[in-house]
Each structure stands twice: as C-alpha cells, then as structure tokens.
Structure 1
Amino acid sequence: AKLAQKIVELSGYDMGVFFANSGAEANEGAIKIARKYGETKFDKKRYKVITLEHSFHGRTITTVKATGQESFHTPNFSPYPDGFSYEKSIADVYKAIDDETVSVLIELVQGEGGVQPFEKKEIQDLAKHLKEEGVLLIVDEVQTGIYRTGEFLASNLYEIEPDIITLAKGLGGGVPIGAVMTKHKEVLSAGDHGSTFGGNYLSTSAGLAVLEVLEGLYENGTISEAFLYFEEKLQKIASKYVNLFSKEVGLGLMRGLRAKSSEIQTEVIENSLKEGVVVLKAGRNTVRFLPSLTIKKSEIDEGFERFEKAISTL
C-alpha cells in the first residue's frame, strides 16, 4: 500500500495500482481492464486494441500479439488471441478507430522499436481525440517510467493523463516487479485479476527504496545533469562517426545511435562488449544505451572512452 501511494503521489494522477511481477504481466492487466471496460461500459461490446508498428509490449501470448512486429508472431506459438490491430503512425490510428475499438496502447518512446520518441503535440492531440471518442489510452511505461526520460513518467513529460499506465523495470532496481495503474478503479471486481506474488513485501520494499533514492536525485538536479552530459557525449560520437551512425535518438537516459546498417549495428555491439561496455540491439538498426540513473560523470567518461575505442577501427 505504501508503494502504491508513493507511485500515485509522484505521478500526480488519481489512480489505483495493482502490482505484478513483470512488465508483460502489467500489460496483461492493462488489457484485461480495457476489455472489461469495453464489455461493461457500452451498449455494444468494444474489444479491439490498437497498437503501433515497431512497438513491444511483452512476450506472453497476449502481449506478444499486442506487439506490432510481425517477426514476433511466429507460427511456433500460434494460435494467438484476436482483437489487435497495428498502425504505421499516429495519423493512421485515427483512421483505425471504429465502434469496436476499446483502447489504444502505445509507448511514448518505442524502446525495442529503435528508441524512437513520438512528438509531444501529436500525442497530446491523440489523447484529446481518444477522450472525445470514449476510447481508453493505455501508455506502456515499462521502459520510460521511473525518471528514465526526465520526469517520473514520460506521461508527465508529455503532459497527458492516460486512462491506464504500466510500469516495471526501473521500479524494482533489479528486483522483479510490475504495476498497472488506472483511473478506472471500479472496472475490476474482486477475483477478476490476481497474482500470487504481486505486491510481495520484498519487491515493494525495494520499490520504495528505489523511489526514495531517485526522487532525491531528481529534486537536487543530479538526474538532469547526467542526462545533459550523456547527451552531449552521444552527440559528439554521432557527429564524429558519420560513417557509422546517421543520428542519435531518444530522451533522457533512454538513448540510441542509429547505425547505417544492421551489419554495423552488430559489429558495434560485439566490439563494445569486448571493451566491457554493454550496449543493446534495438529496431531500426539502433544501438541502445540504458545506463543507470545514478551514473556519475566519471563513469560516463569511462564508458564513452571504451565505446569510442570499440568503434574507432570500424
């Protein structure tokens, strides 16, 4: 209860919180809330969930189907649940909404899809339109949440108020935890959803400790200083190695370098590992950086020295 109260306080949203063990579980919970909302709040059932191409929402059967990447929908795990559609852009989402649509599920920065942020105004316009249409906005903040993009939630940064928000990853600081938040507290009844270990003492205690540390670093400006310093270093790399990278992307400490080919992307990641730097593969040939929010300038310096050594011979 203390962690739920703290999350609500920091978010600024009047929401209820349900705890799970992972981001995929949190997204499962979000979809269940949306589906029951569509079943009980309208004369005609609404069930369709719209997501975006290049999205990623989890690896359970339902969340992998919610993911807008065909490469994840292999026959190995079929049949998949129905009721999902994938759109190329925010503009296409408007056209896809019909009388069966209950929600739109989006990441404000597509992590697996290439660390690609959406424009603030297009998200604000979409949120306004969905509210007018009675369609729920679900924001997957499994990667973007917990100060990763600069504010407590990316939803705060974009100045929107979603109907449902999901959290995980950074909330536990390495301890498994997920959370689904919603302002529609009345939708789920007792027994509609549950988790044996959701909200366990270890995970929620870890979550409280994480938020205590990060809130302090946010308030004293340490996090924003790290963001600016890291961005400056990344921009220098992008400008210097135009033979390898086309641009730098992302927000806060959720960053990427867009490699000019998948071969370059692979070589950069492999060479970096040899130098003791762990960078990740993401869509659109992106080399992804997700450093700790507690990272020091000296650690950023060392990391980029090693990274540059890794790529200088390519």
Structure 2
Amino acid sequence: MTGGSDVIVSTRDETESAPIDAHLAALAGRPFPDAALRACVARFDEARRPLRSLLDRAAAGKALTDPEWLSFFRGLHILAAARDAESFASLLRLLRRSPDEVEDLLGDALDVSVHRLVISLFDGDSDALLALVAEPKAHEIVRSALLDAAIYLTWQRRLDREEMHRFLVAFASRRPAVDEAPVWRSWMQAVALLDFRDLVPMVEKAWKAGRIDRTFQEWSDFGKDLARARTAYDDERRFEHLAVGSIDDVVAELEWTRHWETDDGSNAGEEEAGWEQPTPAVNPFRNVGRNDPCPCGSGKKAKKCCLATG
C-alpha cells in the first residue's frame, strides 16, 4: 500500500494454470483466495467485464446473493489494484446510495479502504468527487474518506489545487454538514496538509464555533501539520495518519478479511472454488449516534467512550 502507481502482479504459475472463470468463481468462496486475487489482477483483461458487472449491479441497488457479494467486495479491490478508471463513476454511484445500503455493501471497508479505492480508481472527474463530499445525504464516513482522498489527489497534482481551494472555501460558507461530522475534521486537515494558509482564519472560526470534533484532533495538531506542509510539502510521510495511497497489492489490502475463512477464524481447508456463507464484519455502533449514550453502559456519550477507542 503506497502512493506509487505500479500495479503488483504475480508471475507464479498459479495465475496462468486455470481458466479465468475458475479464479472468478474462487472469489466467491473460501478459504481466502490468494491465487485468484493475484490471477484476476495479472489477467485483468479477462476478468474486467464480470467484475465491472458486479460493481454496476451493486451501484444500481440490485440484490446480490451472498457469494455474489463476496465476489463484488473482492472484485472492487481488484478493479482498484488494476487502476480501472472506467469503474470510478460506478464507485461514486454506489457511494451515493443510502447510508444503510453503503454499510451493508462495504462494512468495515468504509473505514479501512474507501479512500484508497477512490485514489486508485480516480478518473479525473473532480467535480463528481467533490460534489459527493458536499452531499448532506451521503454516509458521513464516505464524505470524510472522499475528502481525505481528494487531499491526497491534490498533493499528487491529479486534482487541481485551485479547484480544491475553492471547494474548501465554499464548504465552510455553505456548511453542508452538521457540527462535529467527520468531514469537518478532514476539511481542517485539507487546509493544513495542502498549506492553504490564507484559510487558517476560516479554520480557527470553525474550531471556536464547535464544528470540528475535538475527540481526535487538537488545535496544536493543526499547527504542526501546517508547519510541516510549509517546510516539507513533498514529503509523503505527512499523510501517514490518513492511511491514504493507492491499492497496489490486492492480497495485502484484503489481508484484514482473511478471518472470514471460517467462523472461528481458522482455515478449514475448503477448496477455493467452494463456498460457505462468509461472516461479514459487524459494526456494534451502526445504530448508535455519536452523541447517544455509549452502549457499554459507562454513562458517557459514545463519541467520548468506545467510539473514541475503537
């Protein structure tokens, strides 16, 4: 997982020894399909059409069976590793769906990889990307992840710096997000990481007004980020806390899902093309608002308790 543009592919015999249909079928099964993932990237010309089809169906709100969902989820990451820019519009359509639908389709990937999916698939349509950041009805984590991606794309010079500046000004003026929404923190970080010093008074005003959640951010952090941007703008390490970059190795990117192999997290030794219902990640806070009482019983607000500690 880096900011580079090289796609990691495998030259191992396993990527060539089976028909592509066998590898595509393995995406829907268990155990974790290392070989199939690598093969679909290495032989993307053959895998492209069915993987795009699954993404298009999900983006259109079509029902997916459990095996289809697993193929879609893994396939989306394959599309990203292959830099399939033609899938970018479909990804944005998916992310525009209702928050519940987006959570059902992406689960923990909302926090883990959406920003990197966007960076990897970005086709240059900055208007569509930033419009979704500003969409009040979109999932709040999606909006924040997209703005994090836009920050990185701007730093890479793949998104126009002046356009980003205008967007940040308009966002503060129109306020298309409730106070303490995650996207406000990303907005603040955009100003610092991209060294938009003329917008610092605007950030200070928003900070004092309580628009930015202080659970994960101190004012001093903003100052440090701004200082580093001025002295080391080209240093990619400044973005490490955002975990942004491109998806280069699809197996490494999906390593966190390997425990889906069996209910107890062990490898039961099924054939890759076989299938048993995967155990999707469950978010215990899905229906808990940040200002609601924490379900752990502490009496604190969720945002000050378990949501803050993960």
* TM-score normalised by length of structure 1: 0.26
With CA pairs under 8 Å and 6+ residues apart, which has the higher RCO, 1 or 2? 2
Q: Which of the two has greater helix per residue?
A: 2
